[in-house]
Structure 1
């Protein structure tokens, strides 16, 4: 299986993974043969990359962070609980949901714990658009991987996991026409959106089964260590460590998820943008831990090597995720090889990835625009 940029798709190619809508519904199933019309529709939906079945890479398996059943049940529960909040005023009595979401957390932790060395893999490369439910789940899973890597106890993982899962629950109190506005927010609209942090804290702080630290995650996940965040402009040690981890996962998922008006960045691009905030928005030590946990070149991605050869990422080395195993498909002259071979970049240290198929350039700090996730 390989990951192909939308502009490089050709009629006759077969999908390797399903394409999902923002509601989690299947738009196109695995093995569907693409037509010009379907490719055009995917472009209209803002899909940037899709997985394609390919004879030369048919044995390359794209790993999943969650089992499909765990993901499905989690999204159903998240959607149900978030929708139960919509339209309610935070001063009103809120239905209890701590027990239900604790069950979701246990299932997610079991899936992550079953992996020998859990890493942050893209979860929504094959979805058509950003939505609150998938975003909440993604941020939860990414944050838990960081928590595991940081040596957190089971209790701490439950606290930070619930905080991550519910970090944006305050958005259920924001008018849909503002929350889902497809164009840039006005200053006044952005101020309204910013209130989701305090709304979320009010919803969670007295909720049975939700730790108070989880409520603080909702309140602080947009604070930044230089004091430029909101709602209080807290600095450095004034911000709880949980909220700092969630801030990284939140920004990363926002950048790597498709939107109708903005195609997703690839992981290595998103990490580069995050690093522009090192020491100002995010702690450097946390960025380094985050980088070491992210598979910055997804399995299946076509890349160019410093040798001029072209290949596909075949596997990720868990200890050196920046140096994956590459299956070389074309030689330095651009000729397709009859017998592909593999280069392990974790040992072939003189060989570098110099390009990614479908990208004309890489992001700069100028691209780190105000992004409301």
Structure 2
């Protein structure tokens, strides 16, 4: 299969991966044939790239970090917790939702079990295509990516559980922000921006007394927008005043936000987002943590179309974990752009004279 921006998808193509609702229910199965109206509806629903079956890329499979069962359970829990808090923001009292900590901890056990089976996995653009609710998917992405980083860093089981819970709930304070502000399609006014920033503090107060939720997880919600040089919010903390878990979550939160399509902006591709993060190395983000992150990110995700310095075009078919910026590519065209009769594999970690010069696989290329 290959990943294509939806603007390049056409009727008759067949889906290579399922598409889920925000509740984790399968809306469209693999193999469904696309129509013009279906493509238009997916675009309207916030799906801006698709995995497409292509005979020339047969055998190329984007890895799935979480099982279908874990995905459904996690999205269902996030939906339930967040919607309850939206429905009763003025009635919030300590212990009102005692199930929150238990259900989130159960989800973390499922996530960790799945990730333990694939500890060497790389952080990829989310291949769980989900319509309708950015906040749910963003929360799950940040949880999965941060937990994967924590495993690479060497945290133990209880540390990972707390880190993952903090990541899953880092944006829970947005349930207390007006939807007019949260979903505004253009720039925020100064007053609206101040309102948006309050989600960090509100998230802390929602979580700090919740049974079965570690206080550190509440501080992750409070601190994930703090930055090393004191330019973050809400308290302008600096350096070691920021909990390490919040620093990890801050990096991953920024990355996932940059690589996700939003109403008011197109998405960056992974290599662009990593470059942007590194521009803040040592000032906004911890340099050593950024290096761990960079080493775990699939700069060029499996299925993405790339152009090579040789003039040829191909699709990334596998990642070299020790050299993520030089993947294995299935070459599909010759230097003149003509389709090859027999595509072949090129390992860029061994062909050092060949480089990727262009990437064409996301909304930012539209």
Q: Hey, what does 2:173 align to over in structure 1?
A: 170
| Of 298-307 and 172-181, the range deviating more from structure 2 | 172-181
Q: Hey, what does 2:14 align to over in structure 1?
A: 14
Q: 1:169, 1:286 → 2: CA distance?
A: 24
Give the 3-state SS of the residue equivalent to 1:89 in structure 2.
helix
Q: 2:129, 2:326 → 1: CA distance?
A: 24
**2:308 alignment partner, one of 266, 286, 305:** 305
125 and 103 in structure 1: CA distance in 2 versus 1, 3 angstrom threshold: closer
129 and 283 in structure 1: CA distance in 2 versus 1, 3 angstrom threshold: farther
**2:144 alignment partner, one of 141, 149, 156:** 141
5+ unaligned residues in a row in structure 1: which ranges?
363-373
Q: 2:272, 2:187 → 1: CA distance?
A: 22
Give the 3-state SS of the residue equivalent to 1:14 in structure 2.
coil
Q: Hey, what does 1:228 align to over in structure 2?
A: 231
**1:285 alignment partner, one of 262, 283, 288:** 288
Aligned length: 362
**1:210 alignment partner, one of 194, 197, 213:** 213
Q: 2:363, 2:116 → 1: CA distance?
A: 38
Any conservation in 2 of the 1:46–1:261 contact (CA below 8 Å)?
no
Give the 3-state SS of the residue equivalent to 2:307 in structure 1.
strand
Any conservation in 1 of the 2:267–2:363 contact (CA below 8 Å)?
no
Q: Hey, what does 1:192 align to over in structure 2?
A: 195
Q: Hey, what does 1:118 align to over in structure 2?
A: 121
Deviations 1:261-280 (A, max 9, x none): 43322211211221222222
Q: 2:103, 2:361 → 1: CA distance?
A: 42
Any conservation in 1 of the 2:119–2:148 contact (CA below 8 Å)?
no
TM-score, with length taken from structure 2: 0.93
What does 1:324-335 align with in structure 2 at a 5 Å threshold?
Answer: 324-335=327-338
Any conservation in 1 of the 2:313–2:332 contact (CA below 8 Å)?
yes
* 1:225 Cα deviation from its structure 2 partner: 0.8
| Of 282-291 and 160-169, the range deviating more from structure 2 | 282-291
| Of 225-234 and 36-45, the range deviating more from structure 2 | 36-45
RMSD (CA atoms) = 2.0
**2:273 alignment partner, one of 259, 270, 273:** 270
